[in-house]
C-alpha cells in the first residue's frame, strides 16, 4: 500500500512538473516576456507542491525544510563564487546531490529556488523561469534515477552530470528561439543548439567534476542528517 501511494505521488508530481509547469512557461512566452515577474513566483509555488505531497497527511516540520533551504543557498552561493567562469558552476551538481539524499521532489524544489535566488545577483529576466525549470527538472530526474538504482556508481553519476549540461542547454535554447525569433522552426532551434554546444559542454563538464569531488563527502553528510533526524521519511 505505501508503494502504491508513493507511485501515485510521483505520478502526480511528474504531471505537475513535466506538463503543467512547461505550459506555464509557454504561456509566459506567448503573453510576453515581461510577465516573468509573475511566472517565476507561480513556478516556485508549483515546485513546492510535489515536495509537500511527500508528507502525505502530516505537516512538514521545520527541521525537514531547513536542509532544503540550506542546500538551495549553498547552490546559489556556489554559482556566485564561480561567476568569473562562464558556465563552469557547481550549482547543478549540488542540486543533484540534494536530490540523491532527499528525493526527486526536493531536487526539483532545490533547483528552482537556487536559480531564483542566485539571479537576484546575476539579474532577473524572462530567462529566470526557464532556468528554474531546467535546474529543477535535472534534480527531479536525478532523484528518480537514484531511487530506481541507476545512479549508484560514481561513473554513472558523473556521466549523468555531464549529460545534464546538454539537457539544460536544450531547454534554454527552446526558450531563446521562441522568445527572440518571429517564427519557431527546427532549423533555427538546431542552429541555436549548435551555437551553444560549447557552453553546454562546459556546464556538463563542470557538473561532472563537482559531482566527482563533492558527491561522496557531501552526500554522506546529508544522508547522515536525513537518517539521524528522520527527515522526509515518506520519500523512502
Range of the domain at 77: 2-235
Total domain count for the chain?
Answer: 1
Residues 6+ apart with CB under 8 A from 57: none
Distance separating alpha carbons of residues 210 and 226, to the nearest angstrom = 22
The per-residue pLDDT for 230 is 66
Local confidence band at 231 (pLDDT 50, 70, 90 cut-offs):
low
Q: 101-105, 112-116, 229-233: which has the highest mean pLDDT?
A: 112-116
CB 43 within 8 A of CB 175: no
Local confidence band at 65 (pLDDT 50, 70, 90 cut-offs):
confident
Q: What is the mean pLDDT of the chain?
A: 88
Local confidence band at 113 (pLDDT 50, 70, 90 cut-offs):
very high
Q: Cell numbers of 4, please?
A: 502504491
Distance separating alpha carbons of residues 223 and 231, to the nearest angstrom = 9
Closest CA relative to residue 13, chosen from 59, 47, 58: 47
Residues 6+ apart with CB under 8 A from 178: 26, 29, 184
Distance separating alpha carbons of residues 217 and 130, to the nearest angstrom = 30
For 54, what's the count of Cα atoms within 13 Å in the CB-facing half-sphere? Answer: 23
- Burial-class residue 48 by CB neighbours within 10 Å (0-12, 13-18, 19+): middle
Residue with cell 549540461: 165
**Segment 137-151 mean pLDDT:** 93
Distance separating alpha carbons of residues 131 and 175, to the nearest angstrom = 10
Residue with cell 506567448: 30
Flag whether pLDDT at 236 surpasses 60: no
Closest CA relative to residue 178, chosen from 28, 39, 1: 28
CATH number of the domain within which 226 lies: 1.10.1760.20
End-to-end CA separation in angstroms for the chain = 13
Local confidence band at 226 (pLDDT 50, 70, 90 cut-offs):
confident
CB 208 within 8 A of CB 150: no
The per-residue pLDDT for 28 is 84
Closest CA relative to residue 232, chosen from 134, 114, 143: 143
The per-residue pLDDT for 58 is 62
pLDDT digits (tens, 9 = 90+) for 164-209: 999 999 999 998 898 888 778 889 999 999 999 999 999 999 999 9
Radius of gyration of the chain (CA): 17
Amino acid at each position: 500500500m505505501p508503494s502504491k501511494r508513493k507511485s501515485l505521488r510521483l505520478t502526480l508530481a511528474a504531471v505537475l512538473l513535466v506538463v503543467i509547469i512547461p505550459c506555464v512557461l509557454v504561456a509566459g512566452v506567448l503573453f510576453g516576456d515581461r510577465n516573468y515577474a509573475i511566472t517565476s513566483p507561480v513556478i516556485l509555488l508549483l515546485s513546492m507542491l510535489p515536495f509537500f505531497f511527500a508528507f502525505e497527511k502530516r505537516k512538514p516540520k521545520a527541521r525537514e525544510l531547513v536542509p532544503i533551504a540550506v542546500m538551495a543557498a549553498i547552490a546559489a552561493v556556489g554559482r556566485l563564487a564561480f561567476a568569473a567562469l562562464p558556465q563552469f558552476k557547481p550549482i547543478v551538481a549540488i542540486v543533484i546531490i540534494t536530490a540523491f539524499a532527499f528525493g526527486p521532489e526536493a531536487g526539483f524544489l532545490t533547483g528552482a529556488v537556487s536559480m531564483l535566488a542566485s539571479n537576484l545577483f546575476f539579474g532577473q529576466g524572462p530567462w529566470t523561469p526557464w532556468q528554474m525549470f531546467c535546474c529543477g527538472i535535472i534534480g527531479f530526474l536525478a532523484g528518480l534515477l537514484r531511487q530506481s538504482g541507476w545512479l549508484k556508481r560514481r561513473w554513472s553519476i558523473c556521466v549523468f552530470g555531464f549529460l545534464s549540461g546538454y539537457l539544460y542547454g536544450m531547454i534554454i535554447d527552446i526558450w531563446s528561439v521562441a522568445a527572440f525569433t518571429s517564427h519557431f522552426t527546427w532549423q533555427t532551434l538546431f542552429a541555436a543548439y549548435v551555437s551553444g554546444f560549447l557552453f553546454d559542454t562546459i556546464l556538463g563538464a563542470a557538473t561532472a567534476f563537482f559531482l566527482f569531488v563533492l558527491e561522496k563527502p557531501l552526500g554522506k553528510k546529508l544522508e547522515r542528517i536525513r537518517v539521524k533526524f528522520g527527515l522526509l521519511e515518506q520519500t523512502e
